[in-house]
Structure 1
Amino acid sequence: MSEASLAMIDSIADRIRTARTKASLTQTQLADELQVNRSAVAQWERREGGTHPHLRHLTQIAVITGVGFEWLAIGRKAASKSAGESSAIAQNAFERRCLKALRRIAPTRQLLVVELLNELTENVRTK
């Protein structure tokens, strides 16, 4: 789907479905990432009689699927994030799991994790 045709999607339900499918996720996979029931995702994707996700979930959907929050929420701006933005988010399920684990660690220990990762990648570069 082109960027222009993505901008034409009127309903939030359709934008959520489009973001999910562009990210190659099933409703169940997205629900697992959001820690909600699959039926919640199905309700969000229903045009008529559906519900809207909480702002927190909408933000998470944008991050997980790699779309711009403003496009997802109200349909304005580009659907996809710029290269600079997308490098700051998880690129796949493994990276999302790592980020979730990192967020559960105390901030001082997060610094230790970053230092460890830097050390590990430094060793790879010098070989």
Structure 2
Amino acid sequence: MKTLTNRIRQARRAASYSQSELAQQVGVQRSAVAQWERQGGSRPTTENLSKIALATTINFEWLATGRGRMKLQLDGGDDGDEGPALLLQYFAQDEVEERMLVALRKLDYRECMALVEMTETLAQVRAGS
């Protein structure tokens, strides 16, 4: 299995990014990307690893662990050899969405459905105004 260092480099190259371009996408200096790609260098935080995965459309689990499919399928297609594709629009995009998801997972089904219906109603009202 490839190391994290190699997977980061492979993800960057698959996206046709230079180290500087990936650094800009992630919001770090180019030297940070160089460190992540160097054997014995520093490791990215989980947040930065997530940003790398999103910027390069690479499966986070593969990037972090080497398990699963490398590339995300963004078109919703299924080539039949693995489960359904992950769509980036379904990931928490900021801290508020992440907090909502964490809280939602602590509720039972009935409570979740009540919250979903309330949120959908609020979104419909907002869209109508």
TM-score range (shorter-chain normalised) is: 0.5 to 0.7
Q: CA RMSD in A?
A: 2.9
Letter in 1 for 2:52: I
Corresponding residue for 1:18?
10
Rounded to whole Å, the distance in 1 between the matches of 2:88 and 2:64 is: 21
Larger Rg: 2
The aligned length equals: 89
How far apart are 1:86 and its partner, in Å?
Answer: 4.8
> Gapped runs of 5+ residues in structure 1?
1-7, 90-99, 104-110, 116-127
Corresponding residue for 2:47?
56
Letter in 1 for 2:8: I
Q: Is residue 69 of structure 2 the alignment partner of residue 78 of structure 1? A: yes
Preserved CA contact (<8 Å) 1:68 1:80: yes
Corresponding residue for 2:58?
67
TM-score by length of 1: 0.59
What SS class does the counterpart of residue 86 from structure 2 fall into? helix
How far apart are 1:88 and its partner, in Å?
Answer: 3.5
User: CA 1:80/1:35 → structure 2, altered by over 3 Å: closer, same or farther?
Assistant: same
Between the aligned residues of both structures, percent identity stands at 42
Corresponding residue for 1:108?
none
Decide which of 15, 32, 37 is 1:40's aligned counterpart: 32
How far apart are 1:35 and its partner, in Å?
Answer: 1.3
Preserved CA contact (<8 Å) 1:66 1:86: no
Instruction: Give the 4+ runs in structure 1 shifted more than 2 A.
Output: 82-89
> Gapped runs of 5+ residues in structure 2?
77-84, 95-122
Rounded to whole Å, the distance in 1 between the matches of 2:56 and 2:62 is: 12
Corresponding residue for 2:82?
none
User: CA 1:32/1:24 → structure 2, altered by over 3 Å: closer, same or farther?
Assistant: same
How far apart are 1:40 and its partner, in Å?
Answer: 0.3
Corresponding residue for 1:120?
none
Structure with the larger RCO, 1 or 2 (CA within 8 Å, 6+ apart): 1
What SS class does the counterpart of residue 22 from structure 2 fall into? helix
How far apart are 1:34 and its partner, in Å?
Answer: 1.3
